[in-house]
Structure 1
Amino acid sequence: MQKRGSVPPDQGSNDPSRLDACYASDETYESDTSYETANIPRSTASCKLHAETIIVGGGVIGCAIAYELTRRGHEVLLIEQNEIASGSSCAAAGMLAADSEDFTHPVIAQAALESRALLHSQKDQLSALSGMELGLRQSGFITPFRSYSELSRYKENRRSSSLTEQIWWDRNTVQREAGWLNRDTYGAYYRSLESEILPVSLTRAYVRSAHRMGAAIWEGVKDIQLIGNQLGVQGIATPKGNITCKHVIIAAGLNGETLLQQARIDLPTTPVKGEIAAIQFPADQTAYKPDRTLYAEDVYIVPKANGDVWIGATSWPGKKDHSVSAYSVQRLLGAASSWVPGIKEAHFLRAWAGVRPSTPDGLPYIGECENMPGLFTAYGHYRNGILLSAVTGRWIADMLEGKRAEEIGIEALSPNRLNRKEVVR
């Protein structure tokens, strides 16, 4: 198996059958406009395009996989039909809520803790390779309650329990530690290990770091077709030509289902639209600005490293459009200002929407497809794509290097699990 290691993209192999691609320039990347590719050989009768591993999907999951594989020395081609981080990844709030989120399955609960820790450990290398700031902040999350009865319902309904420390703040502590909260707040849980990140920055840092270590990146490639049979995956067909490979990883979010149907593999997802608003506090109102993330039952409020405060999120199952309704903005701002009254004086900046893929049992599809050896899936993370990106990259890399899902402890996420009768579809 040929491994590229950390060979710079401008010093790669001269073999014309090998892929090599690069961004047009650092200026193009830094301006957040687009990526361009260069030196891509055309497919001919005597020269076929080839890559050891092809990743389809340029969101945070695909880019995290590309980073982990190239870090281990694998040859990678990442293909995105639009632009990097243009799908669900650009609509996330970037919360690494490993303790605050109520997970439905213990595998995901444990994975969230591992992924958060792994992402923190990757930060320095990602920043060094990509030249980007990730906006990673660890100031803890606050889950507030208006009354004792509300707190009791929270405890009764919570399906997963935190594996790390959480501290109870009574009314007096809340006012001392978070004076920007509504004075009627009964109390709150404070989880100090929780953190958040700028999601688009993370996604682009992953892909730029992968490229620096030798990965090829193609954007704007549509009409991708899988090539393979029951004996295994053989490659993909694109408008740029057919590309042979050893592995194909489908990390294309909502488009993953369509791609896999080409191989007669049915792994359904449901689109769930979510909307987020961003505000900014004027200089004379900073005393009323949250300095920690508020993770309430009806809203979350996330102060970002760039100075904005993000408020989210609505949830509209079945909706695939990217419009933002006035009702949703009113609902988000109303819920947020009921917890943080100072939001009423903040400046409204913008609102945006994204569509996330949800699976029938709420678990992502991660692993190798039995119907076509060499074909792997890594999609369906729904609202936890940013949080689970680092560990998903590690899982996929481990499996490509020979580890079985059972060894890793993620057989519950197998893309073949829908054949079981207990899964409702």
Structure 2
Amino acid sequence: MSREARGRRRSGSLYRNGAACTTQIRGEIRGKLHAETIVVGGGVIGCAIAYELASRGKEVILIERARIASETSSAAAGMLAADSETFHTTVMSMLAYESRKRLHQQKEQLELLSGIEIGLQQSGFITPFRNEAEMKKYSDSRRSTVLPTEQIWWDHSKLQREAPWISKETFGALYRASESELLPVNLARAYAGAAQTMGAKVIEGVQNVSLIADSSGIQGVETSIGRLTCKHVVVAAGLQGGEILKQVGLNLPTLPVKGEIAAIQFAKHDADYRPDKTVYADNVYIVPKANGEVWIGATSLPGRSDREVTVEGIQKLLASAAGWVPGIQQAQFIRAWAGVRPSTPDGLPYLGACKCVPGLYTAFGHYRNGILLSAITGSLMADLIAGHSSEELGIDELRPERLSRKEIMQ
């Protein structure tokens, strides 16, 4: 760590060797319950916003009801799939590309300031097909993709040379070299740790958050640790975001979508069977991680908000994965977990200023792209708080009250 960075590090550092230091942070912040901006929600989105604001020299407090990255961010696979993901709006596609680029640019500083490696790897993604008809069906389904993607076609021979671990029955695959992935919890914690190094306050275990607003706008939040006053509040609380906004008369609905993930590991003598690129298939994704594990996901269960791992779900994932990478059948099963993603009725996140409550902003509803869109979301929210408009930033389609104006909600 540089001398400048060491000088900025506070005694109540959020993470020391990966362990949270919540008690010290609380003790440090009591008696100074004011900041220019309060960010509600300690997932990757909230942490990225706190990091961006702190990097611009702004005073910020981040509050999280449990632990940093303990909710949706902990269930993500960490794919930066700007090319592989299907986006149906230009704004989302452009934000995905820009955010992936920013994450690569931020890597060095995040790891330097936080002391946490985010496990960023760029080995490319492959989307495999069993036959020509399957490939054509996929191509037809992608015609609505608004921006061209960077990809090349690998026929059967090329695929077997470049990915000898894939099933011999595979017809061919699309390869996207710019795609990358990382360790999602590490990313969120790195954002939080780096933000604190630059002066932000991060407090975990903050319950019962209530917005305080009057006719002139937002005044702060009432919480289990007392009242925190501010000029701006950013609600980045995922599935809880909608409930918090109801306190000020805003209806921003979110739909829970449960997903399950399994982690496996290959023995050293089976290293030749371990994929070295992410497999992004229509029925499963297989992601080799920097920690030596391979993550397999994900089921998609709309309307489910429990975090229980089911035998049926994991069996389905492992069977689908082994169909593409047969060596998975010899790998060691490590663990499985589940999480819930926040979706919105139109598939777009609530990102922007709430016009009916001055000083109140929202940044949630990213569904399956929270990790990918974290960097650009942090930058955009900092720009909005600095006075830029959604129209100026090109994100008016994502404004929080858009559904009410379209009379989608009753």
- TM-score band by shorter chain is over 0.9
- Counterpart of 1:30 (choices 3, 14, 17) is 17
1:219 matched to which residue of 2?
A: 204
**In structure 2, what is the Cα distance between the partners aligned to 1:276 and 1:74?**
37
The answer for the alignment partner of 2:138 in structure 1 is 154
Q: After superposition, give the CA deviation of every residue in 1:121-161 in whole Å (9 maximum; x if it has no partner).
A: 00111011011111000010000001110011111111215
Partner of 1:139: 123
Query: Take 2:318 and 2:147, find their aligned partners in 1: how far apart are those partners?
Result: 29
In the alignment, what sits opposite 1:418?
Answer: 403
Q: Map 1:24-423 to 2 at 5 A.
A: 26=15, 29-33=16-20, 35-36=22-23, 37=25, 38-42=27-31, 49-158=33-142, 159-160=144-145, 163-421=148-406, 423=408
How far the C-alpha of 1:422 sits from its partner, in A, is 6.4
Aligned residues: 403
CA distance in 1, matches of 2:9, 2:162: 49
TM norm structure 1:
0.92
How far did 1:164 drift? 4.2
Q: 2:18 touches 2:116 (CA, 8 Å); kept in 1?
A: no
Output the CA distance in 1 between the equivalents of 2:38 and 2:18. 27
Deviations 1:211-254 (A, max 9, x none): 00000011101001100024210111112221110000000000
CA contact (8 A) 2:34 2:230 kept: yes
Shift of residue 117, structure 1, vs aligned partner? 0.2
CA positional deviation for 1:419: 2.0
Residue 410 (structure 1) shift: 0.2
Seen in structure 2, the aligned counterparts of structure 1 residues 403 and 390 have a Cα distance that, compared at 3 Å, is: same
Distance 1:237 1:252 in 2: 15
Is the 8 Å Cα contact of residues 68 and 204 (structure 2) preserved in structure 1?
Answer: yes
Q: Tell me, what secondary structure is at the counterpart of 1:321? A: coil
The alpha-carbon deviation at position 307 of structure 1 amounts to: 0.3
Unaligned runs of 5+ in 2: none
Q: Answer yes or no: is the 8 Å Cα contact 1:55–1:79 preserved in 2.
A: yes
**Is contact 2:89-2:146 (8 Å) kept?**
no
| Displacement of 1:31 | 4.0
- Cα deviation for residue 8 of structure 1 reads 2.8
SS, match of residue 202 in structure 1: helix
Structure 2 equivalent of residue 16 of structure 1: none
Distance of 2:19 and 2:314 partners within structure 1: 26
Distance 1:69 1:31 in 2: 23
Contact 2:8 2:199 in 1 (8 A): yes
Q: 1:8 aligns to what?
A: 8
Deviations 1:170-225 (A, max 9, x none): 01001111011101111100000000000001000000000000000111010011
Distance 2:94 2:81 in 1: 12
Whether the 8 Å contact between 1:269 and 1:359 is mirrored in structure 2 is yes
Partner of 1:18: none
Kindly provide the CA deviation profile for residues 340-374 of structure 1, in whole angstroms up to 9, marking residues without a partner as x: 00000000000000001000000000001111010
Please list every run of at least 4 consecutive aligned residues from structure 1 whose deviation after the TM superposition is greater than 3 angstroms: 31-34, 161-164, 422-425
Shift of residue 30, structure 1, vs aligned partner: 2.0
Q: Secondary structure at the match of 1:39?
A: helix
Percent sequence identity over aligned pairs: 57
Once the 2 structures are TM-superposed, how far is the Cα of residue 35 of structure 1 from its aligned partner?
Answer: 2.9
1:13 paired residue number? none
Counterpart Cα distance in 1 of 2:233 and 2:18: 30
Deviation at 1:393, TM superposition (A): 0.3
Alpha carbons 1:270, 1:357 under 8 Å: kept: yes
Distance 1:192 1:161 in 2: 20
With 60-69 and 158-167 compared, the bigger mean Cα shift is at 158-167
Task: Check whether the contact 1:227–1:236 (CA below 8 A) recurs between aligned residues.
Answer: yes
Q: Answer yes or no: is the 8 Å Cα contact 2:29–2:201 preserved in 1.
A: no
CA distance in 1, matches of 2:321, 2:59: 46
CA distance in 1, matches of 2:93, 2:18: 37
Query: Could you tell me how far apart the structure 1 residues matched to 2:166 and 2:342 are?
Result: 33
Query: Greater CA deviation, 104-113 or 299-308?
Result: 104-113
Segments of structure 1 that go 5 or more residues without pairing to the other structure are 11-20, 43-47
Quote the offset at 1:105 in angstroms.
Answer: 1.6
1:34 Cα deviation from its structure 2 partner:
5.2
Q: Which moved more, 1:278-287 or 1:380-389?
A: 278-287
Per-residue CA distance 1:379-398 (angstroms, 9 max, x = gap): 00000000000000000000
Of stretches 253-262 and 230-239 in structure 1, the one that deviates more from structure 2 is 230-239
